[in-house]
Structure 1
Amino acid sequence: MDAQTLESVTAKAAEIIADITGVVLPERPEKPLGDIHLLDDLDIDSLSLVEVVVAIEEEFGIKIEDSETKTLTTLGQVSKLVLQRTQGK
């Protein structure tokens, strides 16, 4: 896998969210993408969140534990976790 940046991971995660939930993030959001709250800002329900996590696991070849899923509240947290896993930290 090519080296990932926080920005590229965030963009890919946003694309995955849009594909699964139909919620498309605006090109110029009111706050940074990383600060977008998955449940509050995007109104993603728990079932959709599980689908998003599974798709992210498949896309990036990582494993996210169920206990970790509960702590992922923002797009930035998702992206940082992906980077940690893909960079082997």
Structure 2
Amino acid sequence: MIEKIREILAEQLDVELADIKADSDIQENLGADSLDVMDIMTEIEEEFDIEVEDEVIETLRTPQKIADYINKIK
């Protein structure tokens, strides 16, 4: 799952997959702005068939935190 999340991030942010670690902060380390974050979350929702609550989005700052959240709600 984390690999797919990393692939989505790489595609959405035009970053090399190798540069995205499980603990990479999406905004601080990968340069995403708030619009990028919304696009990423939309893609993740579609990919994993989930709905991420708006108030939770800002806490999902790393691929690992996103994966943990998906595991928790599935």
TM-score, normalising length from structure 2? 0.89
Amino acid at match of 2:9: I
Q: Of the candidates 48, 59, 69, which is equivalent to residue 81 of structure 1?
A: 69
The structure with the largest helix share of the pair is 2
The TM-score with structure 1 as length reference comes to 0.75
Structure 1 position 48, deviation (Å): 0.6
Q: Tell me how far 1:50 sits from its aligned partner.
A: 0.5
- Alignment match, 1:16: 8
Give the paired residue count.
74
Structure 2 spans left out of the alignment, 5+ residues: none
* Partner SS for 1:33: coil
Q: In percent, how many aligned pairs have the same letter?
A: 30
Unaligned runs of 5+ in 1: 1-8
Q: Find 1:70's aligned residue among 47, 52, 58.
A: 58
Distance in 2 of aligned mates of 1:20 and 1:73: 15
* Aligned equivalents of 1:18, 1:35: Cα separation in 2: 14
Instruction: Report the aligned-residue RMSD.
Output: 1.5
Residue 3 of structure 1: aligned partner: none
